[in-house]
Structure 1
């Protein structure tokens, strides 16, 4: 009886053995340090996380970032459509935007539509649908369409709707693309900045709008548009 009381006061069961708390803590730290040494994180952790780990004597490794230069490439013929969706929360209030440009990078028109409450994939799909419907209504021939949502692009290419919530806009988008030589492609976010700014403008203004030409664009969209027209490169870390 006295032996059991002494063990309960001075130690605890760990790895099927009774050990002192200090030894248990040391073993746990050893296991955590060994696990972190074998892991490589894709992104850096926050400063608070780093300081906490460092205070316990832990270190971690991250993959080295490489720079890739990317830019918007103008169409050889006809027009390009860039679209993007944005959501402040997932779900949260969301909006979409897009622009149609010619081979000189000049904007024919742009749109920014507020969608209310939704998520990212709903905003992306609705923006694509709105852009395609607008181009179809105006009779604009599109040689390519760009979106930075790989999920949406792959679902359209494979002909399989990835989420039943988006089917209402996914189906018309696919129908408008069928039988045409228009190419739907995924692009990096850095080359889709004009559409991104338009989507965020729709959220901040909470209204719908169509903008004809450069001078009618929201101010926040003009800078990225000029960068695209100039052919300047954007830096992407991969």
Structure 2
């Protein structure tokens, strides 16, 4: 048997008593960082759910190629799960950029389920159809690239999404100085190009 994480010695002894051998998959270290867009702006989006299902919210930020933030948004969605929060955050981010007339060259999300469903054109859950379909249509009409990224490179959007749940309201933050305090650190790390460690 192969395990992704180490278990207690007692667990291994029980398995061994039944004749099973076990191995633990060795973790590798990968260095990752936020990649700025080559031209125009990029949008990072993320959703969060406390309890899954539970209170959920989404958020994101729009940045230029120097990592300077144009704005960030945080929206509270009520009760829902992770995929609802992720999809709604993408739709909210796309609507906001369309309303502002911002030209996006890249969109980043740490939800591989959402990114792959948009890329394949197959909705993974009927609960998200009303946000998934217009998001896909808007992306197909533009040359914007939707990419999956690791959570470590999407921390600003993650913090804003969590802020929406703790504040239980919808907010837009214009520029760095208006951001919630917890979002400023990850933003500065991204701008500096510092590497994050991810175990895979």
TM-score class, shorter-chain normalisation, is over 0.9
Greater CA drift, 212-221 or 174-183: 174-183
Match of 1:52 in 2: 10
**Given the alignment, which residue of 47, 50, 60 partners 1:98?**
60
Higher helix share: 1
Q: How many residues align?
A: 196
Structure 2 unpaired stretches of 5+: none
Match of 1:204 in 2: 166
Relative to 1, partners in 2 of residues 1:84 and 1:57: Cα closer, same or farther, differing over 3 Å?
A: closer
**Given the alignment, which residue of 157, 181, 186 partners 1:224?**
186
For 1:92 and 1:227, the matched residues in 2 are separated by: 30
Match of 1:128 in 2: 90
Q: Normalised by the size of structure 1, how large is the TM-score?
A: 0.79
Relative to 1, partners in 2 of residues 1:94 and 1:56: Cα closer, same or farther, differing over 3 Å?
A: same
- The CA RMSD measured in Å over matched residues stands at 1.3
For 2:174 and 2:14, the matched residues in 1 are separated by: 59
Q: Normalised by the size of structure 2, how large is the TM-score?
A: 0.94
For 2:15 and 2:38, the matched residues in 1 are separated by: 57
Max radius of gyration: which structure?
1
For 1:112 and 1:53, the matched residues in 2 are separated by: 43
For 1:51 and 1:194, the matched residues in 2 are separated by: 39
Say whether the 8 Å CA contact 2:58–2:77 is kept in structure 1.
yes
Structure 1 unpaired stretches of 5+: 1-38
